[in-house]
Amino acid sequence: MQIPRSITNNVIDKLTNSQKGVIIYGARQVGKTTLAKTVIESMGLRTLSINGDQTRFIDVISSRDLARIQSLVSGYDLLFVDEAQRIPEIGINLKIILDNIPSLKVLVTGSSSLDLASKISEPLTGRTWNYQLFPISFLELRALHNRAELDDTISERLVFGSYPELFSMTSETDRKEYLRNLSDAYLYRELIEFGEIKNSSKIRDLLKLLAFQIGSEVSLTELGRQLSMGKDTVDRYIDLLEKSFVVFRLKGFSRNLRKEITKMDKIYFYDLGIRNVLIDNLKTLSNRDDLGKLWENFLLVERMKYMKYSGILYSPFFWRTYTGAELDYIEEHAGTISCFEFKYQAKGSKIPQSFITAYPGSQFNEITRTNYLDFILKD
């Protein structure tokens, strides 16, 4: 199934109307290469494609030799570099290309190990448009399905996640096998290769602990104790997992009131299928005891996809006080504070009085199964 990706037109526009290059970041298997091929086909330019997993052309494209690079790209309108993180000196060489061959359009895809290895970010500052591609979003599925049809798929998304290949699979067995293979392939391969992690079992054990703690504040000290690791090592591993688009942190909201808790973060998964396969739990929703956690994680990541794909600048947080008052999610945007409680079934949640007192004028909504599409689609 070909699902239209939200950033496609933006990428085409930037390549057409700007001399900057375009970089598409994202975890493996989220559809970066497919998106790039769609862009290339749409633009109809003579394109030189180089894959970082293959050796052909790599010695030239990593040579820092302008004459050799010019000879390689001569006659082409567009250079497409796929899996760029695997090419030595790729950041410096792309800088050479963008600075010296302005007529050549440049499209690059790569996993976040581009950041881990510092191969692109610093050399290309100000020379590229950067986009993050997520697993399939409800925002993208809306192009193919109406709201009722989208809602019918919620159980699958909460259990199996939203990686593109899953949408063409009808067998539950195939989906489970795919997720197990995917988690082994992308969670560890690049973390070990680019993150200099010697013990992959520690990463897996850490991810399992994080998977069980969705929606709860995470103590690095306690994680270290359980894993026989130092607090700083745990923090570094989580940082690598963030840069690899496996997990993301949600920080505590505060305006320096002493009663507000901000020292510990909450950690969520970019994709619930990966989270569920890590704890070996791909049971249906009716047979689970973690529905609340799944719902919270789903809403947060779908909201993130919507906001980023829509180009909306915002700051996300959670909020809790030492006395136990809490809010699942807070969003600062355009000078306003919006508060949310996430409940699969409506509970009649109310904003804590202590929050109203501290932040008067804040908006509040309970997001449930009946109104969640308004929260993640915003028609």
- Condensed to tens digits (0 to 9), the pLDDT of residues 1-46 reads 689 999 999 999 999 999 999 999 998 899 999 999 999 999 999 9
The tens digit of pLDDT for each residue in 58-92 reads: 899 999 999 999 999 999 999 999 988 888 888 88
Mean pLDDT score of the chain: 91
Strand order in the sheet with 21-25: 47-51, 78-82, 105-110, 21-25, 128-132
Give the model's pLDDT for residue 30.
Answer: 95
- Whether the pLDDT of residue 272 is over 70: the answer is yes
Q: Is the pLDDT of residue 206 over 90?
A: yes
CB-facing half-sphere around the CA of 217: CA atoms within 13 A = 19
Of all residues in the chain, the percent with pLDDT exceeding 70 is 92
pLDDT of residue 260: 67
Q: What pLDDT is stored for residue 327 in this prediction? A: 96
**What is the mean predicted confidence (pLDDT) over 156-176?**
96
pLDDT on residue 275: 96
* Residue 156: alpha-carbon gap to chain centroid: 19
pLDDT of 193 strictly over 70: no
Residue 358 — φ and ψ, nearest 5°?
-75, -35
The CA angle 178-181-183, to the nearest 5 degrees, is 105
Residue entry with tokens 């052309």: 57
pLDDT tens, residue by residue, 282-316:
999 999 999 999 999 999 999 999 999 999 999 99
Cβ neighbours of residue 338 under 8 Å, at least 6 residues apart?
330, 331, 362, 363, 364, 365
Q: Going by CATH, does the domain composed of 8-132 fall within 3.40.50.300? A: yes
Write the CA distances from 351 to 61, 108, 250, 338, integer angstroms.
56, 45, 19, 11
Average pLDDT in the 323-328 region?
Answer: 90
Could you read off the pLDDT of 251-264 as tens digits, one per residue?
A: 999 876 667 677 89
Q: Where are the domains of the chain?
A: 8-132, 138-174+238-331+367-377
Q: What is the pLDDT of residue 145?
A: 95
pLDDT tens by residue, 91-148: 889 999 999 999 999 999 988 665 555 556 667 788 999 999 999 999 999 999 999 9
Residues with Cβ within 8 Å of residue 280, at least 6 apart in sequence: none
Q: What confidence tier does 226 reach under pLDDT thresholds 50, 70, 90?
A: very high
Count of beta carbons in the 10 Å neighbourhood of residue 194: 22
Answer whether 284's CB lies under 8 Å from 159's CB.
yes
Higher pLDDT, 2 or 367: 367
State the greatest distance between any 2 C-alpha atoms of the chain, in Å, as a whole number: 68
Q: Are the C-beta atoms of residues 134 and 107 closer than 8 Å to each other?
A: no
pLDDT confidence bin for 243, thresholds 50/70/90: confident
Q: Encoding tokens for residue 329?
A: 């999610």
Cα–chain-centroid distance for residue 2? Answer: 20
The yes-or-no verdict on residue 230 having pLDDT over 60 is yes
pLDDT at 47: 98
For 58, the enclosing helix (H) or strand (E) is helix 58-61
